[in-house]
Amino acid sequence: MPLQSLLRFLGKLTANKILEPGCSETQAVCDRIQCETALKKAKIHPLSLLLSSENYKRGQGYQGKTKWEPDSSILKAIDYAFYKSFMNVEPMGKRFVVAVDVSTSLSSIVPGSSVSTAVAAAAITMMFVRTELDTHVLAYSEGALVSCSLSADMTLAQVTAELVKLPGGSTDCTLPITWATENEKAVDVFIILTNNPLWTENGLRVKMAVILKMLVQYSCYTLPIKAGSLHFNHIFFYLFYLNPLLWYTEVK
């Protein structure tokens, strides 16, 4: 059975007593989940392991028909694999700003999973902190923005706790661009993580227009002028809607 399929059926295998505490089959499964060679060959993504862990930890299927008692050794194996799987994320070598919306909406659950949006945002943030050398992490809500001191050796729980320190408010996706402009930061990619659809479709269009205008202004402000003309690099602006992924746009 492929490793990805094995992770998906852990609950059913436990419910059917195929995997029981202390048995050889359970140990074999744990060994396989933790095997770095198997993780690399299957190209398992950290977010896949996070979903597997939370779904298995829940102890029942989405329809509630299949139920099981989560095995602690399996949960430990998935947790170990989660941190090892960051080796499968290939670095882009760009300069990143990862900004996390910490408004009250971040306390919800990602649909179709047992993962809170705060934990999902923390896991995505960890991907950049652990793989990209030039990454600035910001937490923001309306009128407030703080820089987060995150390191590659921090756990998921530690990163989550660091991100939610700022009191919640409403969403203002322009704050990270303002921060980069005021602090004269050279940025290739803005990653905005939010669980707020900006209230209405019309409100989203208005906000996006403001964001695009600010990105163009930021480009003119930060990129050097050569021979009397601006030389633009690509500036990427990704808005990740955690409920689920909404869209992204690119500015040239």
Give me the pLDDT at residue 209, please: 52
Residues 159 and 198 occupy one common structural domain: yes
Residues 121 and 53 occupy one common structural domain: no
Distance of alpha carbon 82 from alpha carbon 125, whole angstroms: 14
- For residues 181 and 221, the answer to whether their CB atoms sit within 8 Å is yes
Give me the pLDDT at residue 24, please: 95
Give me the pLDDT at residue 236, please: 57
Q: Measuring CA to CA, which residue among 175, 177, 171, 223 is closest to residue 197?
A: 171
Give me the pLDDT at residue 26, please: 96
Give me the pLDDT at residue 224, please: 40
Q: Which of 88, 121, 150 is the last residue of a domain?
A: 88
Give me the pLDDT at residue 165, please: 77
> Which amino acid is it at 251?
V
Dihedral of alpha carbons 140, 145, 146, 147, sign: positive
Give me the pLDDT at residue 164, please: 81
Residues 112 and 7 occupy one common structural domain: no
- For residues 232 and 210, the answer to whether their CB atoms sit within 8 Å is no
**Three-state SS at 216:** helix
Residues 188 and 210 occupy one common structural domain: yes
DSSP state of 163: H
Residues 232 and 136 occupy one common structural domain: yes
For the chain, the domain total comes to 2
- For residues 127 and 82, the answer to whether their CB atoms sit within 8 Å is no
Give me the pLDDT at residue 233, please: 43
Q: Which domain holds residue 222?
A: 95-251
User: What pTM was estimated for this model as a whole?
Assistant: 0.79
Residues of the chain scoring pLDDT < 70: 104-107, 166-171, 196-252
Give me the pLDDT at residue 80, please: 97
Q: Which of 88, 114, 135 is the last residue of a domain?
A: 88
Distance of alpha carbon 190 from alpha carbon 236, whole angstroms: 6
